[in-house]
Structure 1
Amino acid sequence: MIPRRAAPCRPAAPTGKPGRWLRLGLAALVPLFGAAAAHAQQDCDLNGRSVNPSNGASTDGKTGLMRCKDRASGELQREEQLQNGVYMGLVRIYEKGKLAKEHSVNAKGNIQGRAREFSPAGRVLREATYDDGQERGLVRSFYPDGKLRRVVFYPDTGNGSERASAEFTERGQLSALRCADAPTLSPAVDDAKLCGFAGTGASQVELFDAQGNLRSRLAYVSGKRTRSQSFYDNGKTAVLDETVGNQRTEQNYSSEGVKRRETAYLLVERANVRVREQAFSEKGTLVRDQRWNSAGEPIVDDSYYLNGQPSSKSAYGNSGDMRTVEITEFYDSGERAAQGRYQVVGRSRQIPVGTHQRFSEKGKLLAESTFDAKGRITRERVWDENGELQRDDEVFEDGSRKAFAQ
């Protein structure tokens, strides 16, 4: 096998679409080469002999620990292990002469085994275990005082996507939680208790912000969140999300504590199908009520005036193969104002069909329009407040009209 000759001081081309490196231009190249020049001011030695990491010939076939120092200050900046000319094994990075990072790499240059990061005081800030560059098992990060900041669990196989996690504030209070389908965060965190795996019913979890304010309350059963309640700065509920059986309900509140929206979902094969949504005014009165069937098709869409009277009612149904909606509008007194039937075409388009009527607030018929199957008006009649017919027109495709002949 031909030894891999690494050149740490060489600036790497940015990743992305072909040609991006060329498009960076001279302005981008200056700081990159400036950084390379800064690295060139290091003095490196291997087994007591001077080597140049940028020149593979100086390390070809050699084994040992290469140590590089800043030429001006003499401070140690990094240590890298070589095996037969290949950068493989221990790697240590120093900042201002103090150890900042420590890990090992395999023959492919990927991190292998334990990796740690340190504070200037020497405390561990992060520790993880890698397998060919992929994080595995528990990965922990800490605050400078040593308190746990975040713990994440990665599975032993796959692409290394995060499975479970917990985060803490500097006060040591839990600030975020993600549960897996089994306890995975022990011994760093007792997620068997937090995520409801203890077999004693739903867990009760509280999350806090950096100032120590309660931000949310959660409940878990066997790793699944069954209830979530978040709060405003004033302590009032912002969102309440709860799952019971196969139905999930989400309620949204104003900062004054008034419910403004409630949405119900049907849980079907890992999907949430919206089946009802209600909207409320600033004072908490119902202003709209919508309902859908399990297939996501609308069934009811009713709206209301602030005085509580209905503003409009829409009832959906089927007429043969045609999906229709019957819409009735109202005056704020509760009296019917208009009604008509529409053919539903797609999600947002409706075609008027049949006879549509408009009424006075006293309930008298004022106007009537008739539409054909294509939504074109074919006849239009108008009455006065006394019920006397004022106009009866036949309407043609081009918009012209004439008196309707009996």
Structure 2
Amino acid sequence: MSAVGPIAFRLAALIVGGLLLANAAQAVQDCELDGRSVNPANGDTIAGKSGLMRCKDRDTGVLMREQQLQNGVFMGLVRFYEKGKLVKEQSVNERGNMDGPAREFSPTGQVLREAVYDDGRETGLVRNFYPGGSLRRAAFYAEPGGERAAVDFTPSGRLALLRCGDKPMLAPAADDARLCGFTDGPSQVELYDSKGTLRSRLSYAAGKRVRSEDLYDNGRPAAQDEIVGNQRTERSFSSEGIKRREVVSTLSERGAIRQRVQEFSERGTLVRDQRWNAAGDPLSDDSYYLNGQPRTKAIYSEGDAPRTVEINEFHDNGQPASSGRFLVIDRFRRTAVGVHRRFNDKGTLMAESVYDGKGRITRERTWDENGQVQRDDEVFADGSRKSK
């Protein structure tokens, strides 16, 4: 076997294997080069040879493949056929990687896809078409990163997807200079589904998406995302058009840092309101009953090490239910410190617990509804008690 034999053999085996998988009938192919029979799975039969190998179905004689050989190596043009009709043509380099122009066709001869490859990687503008000939997708590829920009179109020609690059890349297939807001200020773009229903509204400025709105089937907003300066606001809505959530973040080199999150009930009333400082540390966390009364209020200290949080809970009539201070250990753990109190729904103090700096309880007191002391215990480290 020649020096190029093993390479040719492996490449041929891969190609034949791929064809067999794609062909449900797994037809046997007979191949010839310059009128002589060759076996691409046997490197000896093609060693040192050049020309265009043609392979036909043994049973029907219908052409299935054409492939160029150069000095015993499969390199250059490759064409694939189905029922005698060209469905794909491409070129490969000496390593067997796609290199150069490549096209795919429908049974009627309509181009379905055209691309250019560089040693196995798509490069430049790649276009896909519907069987009727209208543009289905256009994308621009470059290394590193692969796909840099893309547009999809519905069968009726409406825009279905838009991904902008850092400069216009999709001409002449699509006017992304206008669509992506590189000219004449921020763009206004609408995206549709295959049924022709409006699904999204987008706005781009110099390739950056500055606003988006996704829609329900009924045309009402499902989600909104807007950037103004370094502030990003995200909103989500119910199908009835009621805002259910809003997130405000500050954009920085580290990413998005949340500043405020609000959650709303099905009726649109505020049920939770969280705030953070510029560093992303929590400042407050308030929640509300559906009747509008406060449910909990948490206020975090700033500058302390460790930080503390004061938490007050309320009954649904607005009267205090409990209060206390906690050391913030981490995002999920807190340790009670200082005096913690509990109240009935009339606001009357019913119980009080005192904790030391390590979170150990040192005293407990309870009262009846008339304000009379029921219990007053000193609590020791081992859990034992002594009445005062």
TM-score grouping bracket, smaller chain normalisation: over 0.9
TM-score after normalising by structure 1: 0.90
Instruction: Say if 1:228 and 1:389 are closer, same or farther in 2 by CA, change over 3 A.
Output: same
Q: Tell me whether 219-228 or 380-389 shows the greater mean CA deviation.
A: 380-389
Alignment partner, residue 237 of structure 1: 221
Q: Give 1:180's match in structure 2, choosing from 165, 175, 179.
A: 165
Given candidates 241, 264, 269, the residue that maps to 1:257 is 241
What TM-score, normalized by structure 2, do the two folds share?
A: 0.94
Tell me the secondary structure at the aligned position of residue 178 of structure 2.
Answer: helix
Other-structure match for 1:313:
297
How far apart, in 2, do the equivalents of 1:142 and 1:153 lie? Answer: 15
Distance 1:69 1:374 in 2: 84
Would you say 1:267 and 2:251 are equivalent positions? Answer: yes
C-alpha deviation, 1:363, in angstroms: 2.5
How far the C-alpha of 1:34 sits from its partner, in A, is 12
Report how far residue 396 of structure 1 moved.
Answer: 2.2
Deviation per residue, 1:213-241 (Å, 9 max, x gap): 00000000000001000100111110011
**Of 296, 299, 305, the match for 2:280:** 296
Aligned to 1:216: 200
1:336 CA drift (Å): 1.4
* Cα distance in 2, alignment partners of residues 213 and 35 from structure 1: 38
Is the 8 Å Cα contact of residues 174 and 206 (structure 1) preserved in structure 2?
yes
Give the Cα–Cα distance (whole angstroms) in 2 for the partners of residues 186 and 11 of structure 1.
Answer: 36
**5+ long unaligned stretches in structure 1:** 15-31
1:79, 1:34 → 2: CA distance?
A: 16
Residues in 1 aligned to 2:278 and 2:355: alpha-carbon distance in whole angstroms: 32
> How many residue pairs were aligned?
382
2:378 counterpart SS class: strand
Q: Distance in 1 between matches of 2:39 and 2:60?
A: 18
**One-letter identity of the residue aligned with 1:5:** A
Q: Whole-Å Cα distance in 2 between the matches of residues 33 and 244 of structure 1?
A: 52
Aligned residue number for residue 6 of structure 1: 9
Quote how far apart the aligned CAs of 1:383 are.
1.1
Q: Is the CA contact (8 Å cut-off) linking 2:11 and 2:74 kept in structure 1? A: no
- Residue type of the alignment partner of 1:196: G
Judge conservation of contact 2:233–2:246 (CA < 8 Å) in 1.
yes
1:146 aligned to 133, 142, 163, which one? 133
RMSD value, Cα: 2.0
Partner of residue 180, structure 2 = 195
Percent identical residues: 61
Contact 1:113–1:129 (8 Å) recurs in 2: yes
Q: CA offset at residue 8 of structure 1?
A: 5.5
1:177 partner letter: L
1:278 aligns with 2:226: no
Report runs of 4+ in structure 1 exceeding 4 Å deviation: 32-37
1:161 to 1:62, Cα distance in 2 relative to 1, 3 A:
same
Q: CA deviation at 1:103?
A: 0.5
Contact 1:6–1:87 (CA under 8 A) maintained in structure 2: no
2:63 is the alignment partner of 1:76 = yes
Are 2:381 and 1:397 equivalent residues in the alignment?
yes
Q: Give 5+ residue unaligned stretches, structure 2.
A: none
